[in-house]
Amino acid sequence: MVSINHQRHAYSSSSLTVPPASASRSRVKHILAPTDLREASESSVEYALCLAEQLEAKLTLFHVWDVPEQVGGASGALDFDRLRKDRERAEQAFYNLYQQTRSRHLATDCFFLAGDPCALVLSAVKTLPIDLIVMARHHSSWLSELIGRSDIDRIARSTDCPLLIVR
């Protein structure tokens, strides 16, 4: 039974009860927690952290920096200084999240990459021995949901790894 306080996005390992694994091969040993560093992702990272603590599993935090849509200057040309600052802010926020998470769970590592988030999450699942992906579902348009264009839908259709969605 999982106890979740959605208003404060507070989870505690004592409120998360996981039944013991019946066989070692069915045990979750490595959890991937992709985050886009938005508030909704904070709750999924916290949930993944609580699971990792309860299961004594390795936790990998994963962020893919995507070039922001509005990066042009007044002339419409790319503003490289603005891009650099945006990336540095994202790296710092991700590093802070990693430090906070690692202070609670030493078996935590992280990856900060740039590119297509779905492709890189799928690549990580193929490359690393991931047993579970924990992701946040963001509110998206009804049209995106209808045609299955959300990142979660793309990932779920492209991998056999179990996917836990946190709302």
pLDDT tens-digit series, residues 109-145: 999 999 999 999 999 999 999 999 999 986 555 554 4
Instruction: Give the residue carrying structure tokens 């560093």.
Output: 37
Identity of the residue numbered 137: R
pLDDT for residue 21: 47
Quick check: 158 pLDDT over 50?
A: yes
Radius of gyration of the chain (CA): 17
Determine the Cα–Cα distance for residues 68 and 54; give it in Å rounded to an integer. 36
Task: Give exposure, 140-164, as e/b (b: 16+ Cβ within 10 Å).
Answer: eeeeeeeeeebbbbbbbeeeebeee
Q: Residue 152: which of 18, 34, 3, 14 has the closest Cα?
A: 34
56 half-sphere exposure, CB direction, 13 A CA radius = 5
Q: What does the pLDDT look like over 47-74, one tens digit per residue?
A: 999 999 999 999 999 999 987 666 555 5
pLDDT for residue 72: 54
More confidently predicted of 56 and 4: 56
pLDDT for residue 20: 52
| Domain limits, the chain | 27-68+77-166
Determine the Cα–Cα distance for residues 58 and 49; give it in Å rounded to an integer. 9
The mean pLDDT value of the chain amounts to 81
DSSP-derived secondary structure letter, 76: S
Q: Confidence band (pLDDT; 50, 70, 90) for 17?
A: low
Quick check: 4 pLDDT over 70?
A: no
pLDDT for residue 25: 44
Q: Global pTM?
A: 0.77
Burial classification of residue 107, based on how many CB atoms lie within 10 Å of its CB (0-12 exposed, 13-18 middle, 19 or more buried): middle
Quick check: 24 pLDDT over 50?
A: no
What's the CATH fold of domain 27-68+77-166? Rossmann fold (3.40.50)
Q: Cβ of 21: how many Cβ atoms within 10 Å?
A: 12
